Amino acid sequence: MKRISIVLLVCAMFALPSAVRADIAPPINPPGSNLQPGTDVTQVRMAAETVLIDVKNDTTPDSLGSAAVTADFTMHNLGTQDESMAVRFPISAHNGSDPDPELITDLVVKVNGKPVPTRQASYPEPRYPNPDVPWAEFQVGFPAGQDVEIEVTYGLKGSGYPPYTAYYYFLETGAGWKDTIGSADIILRLPYPASLQNIIPDTQIGWALTTPGGVVQGNEMRWHFEDFEPGPNGAVDNMEFALVSPSAWQPVLKERANVTATPNDGEAWGRLAKAYKAIFFLHKYYRTDASGEELYRSSVEAYENCLKLLPRDAQWHAGFADLLATRSYWDRSANGSTPDTYRALDEIRTALQLAPKDAKVLQIAQQISDLFPGAMPTNVTGYDFAWLTETPTLPPSLPETATPAPLQLATSSLQTAIPSSNKPVSPTCGSVALAPLAIGFFAARKRFRVLRRTKN
């Protein structure tokens, strides 16, 4: 019966139109959270809060990274009586299937600048009522008419699939305090300059959608809210932060520096092209936001500069074909064949002519053949390029000291504020008519994962 239910669910997914091509959501690591009062009735208001999610510079390959979180709260007792209560803070969360949720690490609590002891208690997880999960609990006194400063620090793990990661912060646990929250400043800090390329502003990455309204300032993206009721039914929902993981963004920074220092290094241009390509594609589909399109153009330009310097390098031609074919495969479902489709075929044809027995080139050629049935049917010696009518001409070799023009990094002229709409921008897909296309994608997906780890 369970197997039948899964089959019906998959069929339903393809039968129903969808405006979003969402990824399968991974288990979500424990999110950060506002404090929750230990009593149902309190005169204590959360007058202000400042939350800093400081992302660490973890360059371990395929790492989702981690962050150090500091949450400062100014609490004010609006009543005429002193209050004392056990304030709560969730230190774990269900990931949807794991019965033993992971704990938030390195929790430290200070009240008015002094560390206070915490104890573990069990209460419902903010998203799921049953069963209970561990919370940290600590005693706080709130004198009438006075402010009390509470600081909570802890470690938080990223969630998702490389090369993207996500962090979460639940504001809704603060809804139990008196009245609204006076103000909130939420800060996401990166270990390098923040941009709309490394923080995804308005595209659903499958398990997170960055909260709209953030503004880039140096290494940070900041949100500010005033006099609001938090939570799904309030004026401000819980916070989500979708970003390129540091382990995937650092190669971009490294290769940008390399091509600036040595613009005649074709391998460096190729590595930069590959780094851009890795963060343009999502787990499924690709980034459709303006910065995603900018990444795609930058990858194309970097491959072009690479091949001006290394015109007879078959693997870089194949890598370029991989970029063009993957993008045009998804575009073709809505718009038919695009110019990139034919350019991809021409690039892989050139790669095969240069190195007809190279294993990586042959893998990418087979992958493209699978994606575009009839475009390059096999023959006794290799492939016929039925969709190409012109005989390819190999680009001439360039002297080692030649400087291609232009060899320039793409620059961004994008606004630094996230659009106010939180609707992801993606082509409509998922109908019954697209089911064969989707099935073809899953057949080729494994090949894509392997190939992107290679040189090209």
For residues 303 and 424, the answer to whether their CB atoms sit within 8 Å is no
Q: Is the dihedral of CA 152, 158, 159, 165 positive or negative?
A: positive
CA dihedral 170, 63, 189, 283 (to 10 degrees): -70
Report residue 314 CA to chain centroid gap: 31
Domain boundaries of the chain, sorted by first residue: 23-246, 248-451
Cα(272)–Cα(147) distance, integer angstroms: 52
Cα(121)–Cα(128) distance, integer angstroms: 16
Average pLDDT over every residue of 285-301: 95
Q: What pLDDT is recorded for position 41?
A: 92
Beta bridge partners of 147: 76
Question: 275-289, 380-394, 405-419, 429-443: lowest mean pLDDT where?
Answer: 429-443
Average pLDDT over every residue of 409-418: 40
Angle at CA of residue 102, ends 98 and 108, nearest 5°: 160
DSSP state of 307: H
Distances (CA, A) of 354 to 59, 160, 340: 35, 39, 21
Residue among 354, 268, 335 at smallest CA distance from 306: 268
Tokens standing for residue 147? 């402010």
pLDDT band at 207 (very low <50, low <70, confident <90, very high): confident
In three-state secondary structure terms, 441 is helix
pLDDT digits (tens, 9 = 90+) for 102-155: 788 999 999 999 999 999 998 887 766 667 888 999 999 999 999 999 999 999
pLDDT digits (tens, 9 = 90+) for 234-291: 778 899 999 999 999 999 999 999 999 999 999 999 999 999 999 999 878 899 999 9
For residues 320 and 277, the answer to whether their CB atoms sit within 8 Å is no
Report residue 435 CA to chain centroid gap: 26
Evaluate whether 23-246 and 248-451 have a shared fold.
no
- Assign domain 248-451 to a CATH class: mainly alpha
Q: What is the CATH number of domain 23-246?
A: 2.60.40.3680
Q: In what order do the strands lie in the sheet with 147-157?
A: 114-115, 105-111, 147-157, 66-77, 44-55, 181-189, 220-228, 215-217
For residues 151 and 69, the answer to whether their CB atoms sit within 8 Å is no
Cα(256)–Cα(271) distance, integer angstroms: 10
Distances (CA, A) of 181 to 45, 172, 380: 7, 10, 72
In three-state secondary structure terms, 181 is strand
Q: In what order do the strands lie in the sheet with 164-170?
A: 32-33, 164-170, 239-244
Q: What is the mean pLDDT of the chain?
A: 82
Burial of 409-427, coded b for 16+ CB within 10 Å and e otherwise, reads ebeeeeeeebeeebebbbe
pLDDT digits (tens, 9 = 90+) for 79-100: 999 999 999 988 887 665 654 5
Position with higher pLDDT, 281 vs 428: 281
Average pLDDT over every residue of 330-354: 90
Position with higher pLDDT, 299 vs 204: 299
